[in-house]
């Protein structure tokens, strides 16, 4: 990990689990209508209510991200490809390991939107993330389409891997340190476009904060899981 990368310290001990999409991990379930109201309330702009405007906002965010990457002199590769269904499919399209592909999840944390980026072969440890952020309520608003259907119903955009950019969601970006261990990573812009970039450039340009938030479960390329403690800074 880069020594100058911003890190939020955390202290947590306990079991690992991955919340269902739309699940309030503080105890009560969130429904699509509640999710949609939360998104509109947090982003009182046309993009929050107009699906076409949202897609335009996402395209603009992608262009600005690439422009900043270029201005920083960071190597990158943008691809337009067949629609991908989720982060695992994105990894296969690029013929990349899951650990070098970003899977993003959008949370609501005490009223704030937080986009959490982890390697696609890892699951987010919700209690650990909640403790690191110092919040009481943590709920999944929208996740990678491969995780579940709830969180996509009646929301703008085609189902697929959640974009790895925080700007369209009015969110701040949290990046697990395991991402920084890769030479480069692939992250989604939309189901049909994505970018390969150095993880340090991703964190810097997207103004991310590094927070250890994955659990012990590692997804295997051919299916199944294994126990693998997280590699923390």
Where exactly are the structural domains of the chain? 32-227
Tokens 């299916």 belong to which residue? Answer: 223
pLDDT value of position 224: 81
Q: Kindly give the pairing relationship between strand 172-175 and strand 112-119.
A: parallel
The neighbour count for residue 50, using CB atoms within 10 Å, is 13
Distance separating alpha carbons of residues 109 and 130, to the nearest angstrom: 8
Closest CA to 74 of 82, 83, 66: 66
- For the whole model, what pTM was predicted? 0.75
- For domain 32-227, is the CATH number 2.40.160.10? no
According to DSSP, the β-strands at 193-197 and 185-190 are antiparallel
Tens of pLDDT along the chain (233 residues) come to 333 333 333 222 222 333 344 444 433 334 445 555 555 555 444 444 454 445 457 788 899 999 999 999 999 999 999 999 889 999 999 999 999 999 999 898 998 889 999 999 999 999 999 999 999 999 888 887 655 554 455 555 566 788 999 988 888 999 999 999 999 999 999 889 999 999 999 999 999 999 999 999 888 887 788 888 887 65
């Amino acid at each position: 990990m880069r020594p100058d990368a911003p890190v939020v310290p955390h202290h947590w001990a306990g079991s690992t689990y991955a919340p269902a999409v739309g699940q309030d991990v503080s105890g009560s379930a969130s429904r699509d209508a509640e999710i949609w109201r939360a998104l509109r309330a947090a982003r009182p702009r046309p993009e929050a209510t107009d699906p076409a405007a949202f897609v335009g906002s996402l395209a603009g965010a992608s262009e600005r991200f690439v422009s900043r990457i270029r201005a920083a002199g960071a190597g990158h590769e943008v691809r337009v490809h067949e629609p991908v269904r989720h982060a695992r499919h994105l990894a296969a399209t690029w013929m990349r390991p899951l650990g070098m592909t970003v899977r993003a999840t959008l949370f609501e944390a005490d009223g704030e939107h937080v986009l959490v980026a982890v390697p696609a072969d890892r699951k987010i440890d919700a209690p650990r993330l909640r403790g690191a952020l110092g919040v009481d309520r943590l709920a999944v608003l929208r996740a990678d389409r491969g995780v579940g259907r709830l969180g996509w119903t009646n929301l703008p955009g085609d189902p697929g891997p959640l974009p790895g950019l925080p700007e369209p969601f009015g969110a701040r970006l949290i990046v697990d340190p395991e991402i920084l261990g890769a030479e480069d990573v692939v992250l989604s812009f939309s189901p049909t476009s994505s970018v390969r970039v150095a993880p340090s450039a991703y964190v810097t340009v997207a103004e991310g904060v590094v927070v250890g938030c994955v659990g012990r479960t590692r997804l295997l390329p051919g299916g199944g899981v294994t126990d693998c403690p997280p590699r923390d800074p």
